[in-house]
A and B are shown apart, each in its own frame.
Chain A
Amino acid sequence: MRGFFATSVQRCAELCLAASVGTVAEATAWLDDDANTVDVLLVDLGLPDGSGLGVIRHAVRLHPRCEPLVISMFGDDDNVLASIEAGALGYIHKDSRPEDIARTILDMRAGASPISPMIARRVLSKYRSDQVGRATGPPPPSRLPDKSLPGTDPDALPKRSLLSPREQDVLALIARGFTYAEIARLQSVTVHTVQTHIKNLYAKLSVNSRSEAVFEASRMGLLPRHG
Chain B
Amino acid sequence: MAEPGRVGSTSLRAPTPLTQGLWAGLRRLLRQLGAPVLLCLAVQANALTLELREARASVTIQGQTTQLAVRLPYHWDRVHGGLQGVADFELPFTLAELPDKPYGLYVSRLGNAYEIWLNGVLLERNGDMRNFNGADYAKSPRFVDITPGLLRAENVFRVYIRVDKGRRGGLAPLVLGPEDEVQRLYERDYRWRTTGSMVVVVLSLLVGGVALALWATQAVPAKPGQAGGRPLRDRLYLLAAIAELSWTVNVGDALIETPPFGWPWWGMVTIAATAVWVCTMALFCIEVAGWGRHPLVRWLRRWILLLLAANPVVTAAALVHGYALALTLWYTALGLTCLALLPLFVQKAVRDGSIAHRMVAAALLLNTLVGMRDIYAFRVSATYGGTTMLRYSSILFGLALAYVVIARLRSTSGQVRDLLSGMAAQVKAKEIELQTSYQRVETLAREQARADERTRILRDMHDGVGSHISTAIRQLQSGKADASDVLHTLRDSLDHLKLSIDAMNVPPGDINALLANVRYRLEPRFLACDIRLTWDVDLLEPITAMDASAMAQLQFMLFEAFSNVLQHANARTLCVLAHPRETPCRGVRLQIIDDGRGFDVDQPRGNGLSSMQERARGIGALLGLASAPGRTVVEITLGSAPSGCAVVVP
Contacts and interface: CB of A to CB of B under 8 A. Distances in A.
A75 B535 CA distance: 22
Interface in A137-153: 145-146, 149-151
Interface of B: 491, 494, 497-498, 501-502, 505-506, 510, 512-513, 515-517, 519-520, 523-524, 535, 537-542
A117 B516 contact: yes
A177 B512 contact: yes
B510 A150 contact: yes
A117 B505 contact: no
A95 interface: yes
A167 interface: no
Nearest to A146: B539
A63 interface: no
Which of B506, B515, B520 is most buried by chain A, counting CB atoms within 10 A of its CB?
B520
Nearest to B494: A95
Contacts of B539: 145-146, 149-150, 176
Which of A121, A176, A177 is most buried by chain B, counting CB atoms within 10 A of its CB?
A177
Interface residues of A, number: 22
A182 interface: yes
Nearest to A75: B498
A146 B502 CA distance: 24
A182 B510 contact: no
Contacts of A77: 505
A184 to B, nearest CB: 13
Contacts of B494: 95
Nearest to A148: B539
Contact of B520 (A100, A116, A150): A116
28 contacts: A74-B497, A74-B498, A76-B501, A95-B491, A95-B494, A117-B519, A117-B520, A118-B502, A118-B506, A118-B516, A145-B539, A146-B538, A146-B539, A149-B539, A151-B542, A174-B516, A176-B512, A176-B515, A176-B516, A176-B537, A177-B515, A177-B519, A177-B520, A177-B535, A178-B537, A179-B523, A179-B535, A182-B535
Contacts of B513: 117-118, 121, 175
Interface of A: 74-77, 95, 100, 116-118, 121, 145-146, 149-151, 174-179, 182
A95 B521 CA distance: 12
A146 B513 CA distance: 15
Contact of A175 (B498, B516, B523): B516
Nearest to A73: B498
Nearest to B524: A100
Contact of A178 (B491, B497, B535): B535
Given A95-B494, A151-B542, A177 B502 contact: no
A150 B535 contact: no
Contacts of A151: 542
A176 B516 CA distance: 5
Contacts of A117: 513, 516-517, 519-520
Contacts of A100: 524
B537 A177 contact: yes
Given A74-B501, A117-B519, A175-B516, 19 more contacts: A76-B501, A77-B505, A95-B491, A118-B505, A118-B506, A118-B517, A121-B513, A149-B539, A174-B516, A175-B512, A175-B513, A176-B515, A176-B537, A176-B539, A177-B512, A177-B520, A177-B535, A178-B535, A178-B537
A117 B498 CA distance: 13
Contacts of B510: 150
Contacts of B505: 76-77, 118
A85 B284 CA distance: 91
A191 B303 CA distance: 116
Nearest to A94: B494
A150 B540 contact: yes
Closest CB pairs A-B (n = 7): A177-B516, A117-B516, A177-B519, A146-B539, A176-B512, A74-B501, A74-B498
Nearest to A115: B520
Contacts of B512: 149-150, 175-177
A179 B539 CA distance: 15
B517 A150 contact: no
A121 B514 CA distance: 12
